[in-house]
Every structure is written in C-alpha cells, then in structure tokens.
Amino acid sequence: MKGLQVSVTQIKIERAAKLKPKPDTAKLGFGKYFTDHMFIMDYDLGIGWHDPRIVPYGPFTIEPSAMVFHYAQEVFEGLKAYRRADGGIQLFRPEANIARMNGSNERLSIPTIDPELFLEAIITLVTLEKDWVPSEPDTSLYIRPFVIATEPHVGVHASSSYIFCIILSPVGAYYAEGLNPVKIFVESRDVRAVKGGTGYVKTGGNYAATLRAGERASQMGFSQVLWLDGVNRKYIEEVGSMNVWFKIDGECVTPMLGGSILPGVTRDSCIKILKHWGEKVSERLIDIDELFEAAHSGKLEEAWGCGTAAVISPIGEIVYDNERCCVCDGQIGPLTRRLYDSLTDIQWGRAEDPFGWITRLD
C-alpha cells in the first residue's frame, strides 16, 4: 500500500463559487452527474504541458476547426475512487491507468504526460471533491482523464496544442442487470479493431465504430456485443468495452493481447488473483467454434466480462449466427462470484490487498 505524498503542488486551485446539490446516491446510474471541479492542463508546441489547474466544472470554448472534431485525435482513461467503511477513500491501481494513457498518447501522436504530475492531479482533484465519493454499496467516483487535440486547423497532421482534462462522476452499477448474467450477441458483420490499428488503446474512434453493432444487438434484446478478430473473423476478442473470460474444462481462458485487444487493468487483476488461487490460467486464441463445441459438450463452465466500469459481469447466454448457448444455466458461476467478491473487497477496502494495488488518500 502506498501512502499519499503531499507534495508542494504546482496545481493552482480556483474554487467554484457555488456548489451543486449532490444527486440521490440510490439513483446514480453511470456517468450522468459531474462534480463541482475539473482538472485542466494545456499543451503548446515549444512550451510543453503547462498551467496545471483545478477550475469549476464547466464548458470549454474551443474553435470549430479544433482538430479533435475532424480527425479524432483523442485518448481517455477510466478508473475509480472507492469509499471504505471507515470513511476513507482509495484508488485502485492508478499507475496502471496512467501508464496505459501514456501508451495511448504515444499511439495517437499526442505528447505524453509526466506520470507523477498525472497522479498528483488525480489525488488533488479527488481529495478536493471527497464529499462526492458516494458510500452506498457498489457506488464509487468514476475518474475520467482525457486529452483532446485543439489546434484550429483543417489538415491532417498531429495537433500542436492539446487540453488534458480530468472530470469526476459519482456512479452506481454500470448495468441495470447488476450481477445478473447478461445476454451477448456475437457480431459477425462489423469488426472493432485490427492488429496495427488502435484497438489496444483507449481512443474515441474505436468506440464510435462499435455503436452500430451495439444498437443492432440492443434492439434484439442483448446487452453486449462479443467481437471477433477482424482478419479471420473467428477468434474471440472482447465483449463491449470489457475483456472476456471463459472457464472451459477447468481452465480459465482469456484472449491473449495481440494489438487489437484493450489490455484491461481488471483483466490483469483477474489473471493475478486467479493465479494466486492456483487456478489454471491461459491467455490464448479462442476460436468461437471451440467455444460452442465446449458449450455443447458441457465443458463451458462459466463466462464473464471484466472492466473498471462493470467490474465483473457474468455472461448467461451467447448467440452466434443461428446458434445459441446457455452458460451455467443462466446463473452466475461460482468462480465468477468468488472473483467478483475478492476484487470488490480489495477495491472497497473490505479485505487485505496482498498485491499492492491500493493507494489510500488518507
């Protein structure tokens, strides 16, 4: 566990004149409410990142010609601050999100951000907004850092100016279903990403490309799309904006990272927890036909998606072309349940953190 380092900060704070009323924590939903303040830092070519500051939450004024609107030069992250039973607040693996965002910046030709300043920005902002960290079960404060290209120029090249911003949103469960197993639809027309592209980084364009399939699936009553690889159209990649896991014949399998899959912090945490328990874990190719064969022969024991927003989301049914399979009788599997409990116990500070994942803010 790492303690908070209170540094003499270079971050200037301008407080909001009037604070907003807090939303009803029983009806938070996900990503609908934003706190009183946000963090901002600017980048200009020749100067670098400058003027880190916390200001009242509010609209940006940027030119319609700002490059982000035309060429989608943008990256983002998502992590959470959790309220412990003793009233304290903690972060889960923030260094991993910071490192991943710098990897995203690198892929999108955006200048990287000093990781220490990045962490300090998160800690200073969350500490200032600590009254916004909800305490109802399963609620948290979602932290959304992002960078947008702001150079006013219609012409394809890397922008010479950027805004780095962090906003905060008190959230409840990501899916209305809660821990109830979701139905997923295997998409065979659109693809999300290909190797060499940007599938392994969090950049807005990846998500814009998934909306159509998501809407089609939702109209048919599914909550998520399961993506297949863009070349062979048969290897399983991810489910919605979560990584995916299967327990097949005693083995916990998740698709290996290969350039088209987002390297989830929750995915990595699942690998470490499962190995810690002595489970057999493999990161490998999983053919969709192999999955259905396993399901039909009774070897597909459990399936779940994982990500910061939804934590662990059990999968109860999978539909591919005209085939359909039920997982674990549509119930949450025992290992899925145990993983959910262990991970959330560490995140909310109900259990020891043997992995050194927690940063306490108090």
Give whichever of 35 and 308 is closer to ligand PLP, judged by the CB atom.
Answer: 308
Shortest separation between residue 86's beta carbon and ligand PLP, angstroms: 26
CB of 340 within 8 A of CB of 312?
yes
Q: Which of 37, 80, 183, 202 forms a contact with ligand PLP (CB under 6 A)?
A: 202
17-21 long-range contacts, CB within 8 A, separation 24+: 17/56
Shortest separation between residue 266's beta carbon and ligand PLP, angstroms: 3
Which residues on adjacent β-strands are paired with residue 54? 13, 39
CB of 65 within 8 A of CB of 149?
no
| Residue in 244, 218, 231, 238 with CA at minimum distance from that of residue 315 | 244
Stretch that binds ligand PLP, among 164-172, 211-219, 236-244, 285-293 (CB under 6 A): 236-244
CB of 228 within 8 A of CB of 235?
yes
Give whichever of 78 and 197 is closer to ligand PLP, judged by the CB atom.
Answer: 78
Give whichever of 91 and 265 is closer to ligand PLP, judged by the CB atom.
Answer: 265
**How many CA atoms lie within 13 Å of 135's alpha carbon, on the beta-carbon side?**
8
Give whichever of 217 and 262 is closer to ligand PLP, judged by the CB atom.
Answer: 262
Tell me how many degrees the CA angle 166-170-171 measures, rounded to the nearest 5. 115
Q: Does 241 bind ligand PLP (CB under 6 A)?
A: yes
Q: Is 227 helix (H, G, I), strand (E, B) or coil?
A: strand
**How many CA atoms lie within 13 Å of 73's alpha carbon, on the beta-carbon side?**
28
| Residue in 156, 91, 147 with CA at minimum distance from that of residue 119 | 91
Give whichever of 122 and 128 is closer to ligand PLP, judged by the CB atom.
Answer: 122
Give whichever of 255 and 349 is closer to ligand PLP, judged by the CB atom.
Answer: 255
Q: Residue 360's CB: how many other CB atoms inside 10 A?
A: 15
Shortest separation between residue 114's beta carbon and ligand PLP, angstroms: 21
Give whichever of 66 and 147 is closer to ligand PLP, judged by the CB atom.
Answer: 147
Give whichever of 181 and 264 is closer to ligand PLP, judged by the CB atom.
Answer: 264
Stretch that binds ligand PLP, among 142-150, 235-243, 293-301, 333-341 (CB under 6 A): 235-243
Q: Which of 105, 198, 223, 243 forms a contact with ligand PLP (CB under 6 A)?
A: 243
Q: Which of 39, 67, 68, 78 forms a contact with ligand PLP (CB under 6 A)?
A: 78
* E strands, 105-261, in order: 140-149, 161-171, 182-186, 224-228, 236-239, 243-248, 251-255
Shortest separation between residue 15's beta carbon and ligand PLP, angstroms: 31
- From residue 252 to residue 281, what is the string marking binding to ligand PLP with x (rule CB under 6 A)? ----------x-xxxx--------------
Shortest separation between residue 79's beta carbon and ligand PLP, angstroms: 7
Span 86-105, contacts to ligand PLP by CB under 6 A: none
Span 292-321, contacts to ligand PLP by CB under 6 A: 307-308
Query: CA-CA distance, 333 to 247, in Å (whole number)?
Result: 9
Beta carbons within 8 Å of 27's beta carbon, 6+ residues apart? 172
# residues contacting ligand PLP (CB under 6 A):
13
Q: Which of 238, 290, 301, 302 forms a contact with ligand PLP (CB under 6 A)?
A: 238
Tokens read off for 342: 């262990």
Q: Which of 166, 173, 242, 339 forms a contact with ligand PLP (CB under 6 A)?
A: 242
Helices 94-107 and 265-276 pack at an angle, to 10 degrees, of 130
Contact positions toward ligand PLP, by CB under 6 A? 78, 202, 238, 241-243, 262, 264-267, 307-308
